[in-house]
A and B are shown apart, each in its own frame.
Chain A
Amino acid sequence: KAGVTQTPRYLIKTRGQQVTLSCSPISGHRSVSWYQQTPGQGLQFLFEYFSETQRNKGNFPGRFSGRQFSNSRSEMNVSTLELGDSALYLCASSLGGSGTEQFFGPGTRLTVL
């Protein structure tokens, strides 16, 4: 069974631009979560989707948004990029219950210049 895939793997943008990252979960998984990893803040939760509904959102500004499609694929969007948005963005999928095991993709490394 294929793992979680994320595209693109690397991205370079300039301040003020917007970016869209994509995540395809493991087949049969209906939950997708997004996390941001930076050297200063560690791994922080962005949001979680299940059956196209956002069930929880972390403490990030409204510039960070996401959505999930009927095939469980998910996208996250960051508008008006700031230098501090440079980070590794990780996506995880699971079957959906709060106690179920999470599996992570390889991540998208975003650099904002």
Chain B
Amino acid sequence: GIQVEQSPPDLILQEGANSTLRCNFSDSVNNLQWFHQNPWGQLINLFYIPSGTKQNGRLSATTVATERYSLLYISSSQTTDSGVYFCAVRSNDYKLSFGAGTTVTVRA
């Protein structure tokens, strides 16, 4: 199956700082999503981005499918951005393969 690696595993930020999370994957995909897991466990959709660039408020994402990586940018971080961020990819086998996640802690 497709291997997904996320880096860094942990990120500690001061409120207001910018950061970049990376996701590398081992094969071509037709679906790539970024999620934020809330404290109760639900996965919140951030981006559906198999290729290209998207922005949503302070968050943006870029996927370079030919080079098999995706980046999630958090700008002007807030304490509410804390949590675990997951990258997940899918090819033609109908299953999402998840990375191990990046735990983000934003300090006031």
| Interface size in chain B (residues, C-beta < 8 A) | 24
**Chain A interface, DSSP helix/strand/loop, else mixed:** strand
- Whether, in the assembled complex, A48 has its beta carbon less than 8 Å from a beta carbon of chain B, the answer is yes
Interface size class for chain A?
20 to 34
Q: Are B42 and A107 interface neighbours, CB within 8 A?
A: yes
Q: Are B100 and A42 interface neighbours, CB within 8 A?
A: yes
**Contact surface of A with B, Cβ cutoff 8 Å:** 31, 33, 35, 37, 42-45, 48, 50, 55-56, 58, 88, 90, 92, 98-107, 109
Closest residue of A by beta carbon distance from B47: A101
Q: A55-B94, A98-B94 are in contact. Are A107 and B30 (CB under 8 A)?
A: no
Distance A33 CA – B51 CA, assembled complex (angstroms)? 23
Q: Are A107 and B45 interface neighbours, CB within 8 A?
A: no
Distance A106 CA – B95 CA, assembled complex (angstroms)? 19
Closest residue of B by beta carbon distance from A107: B41
Stretch from B17-25, B56-64, B73-81, B84-92 contacting the other chain: B84-92
Q: Are A43 and B98 interface neighbours, CB within 8 A?
A: yes
Contacts of A98 in B (CB 8 A): 30-31, 90-94
Q: A90-B43, A101-B45, A106-B42 are in contact. Are A43 and B95 (CB under 8 A)?
A: no
Q: A43-B98, A45-B96, A55-B94 are in contact. Are A99 and B50 (CB under 8 A)?
A: yes
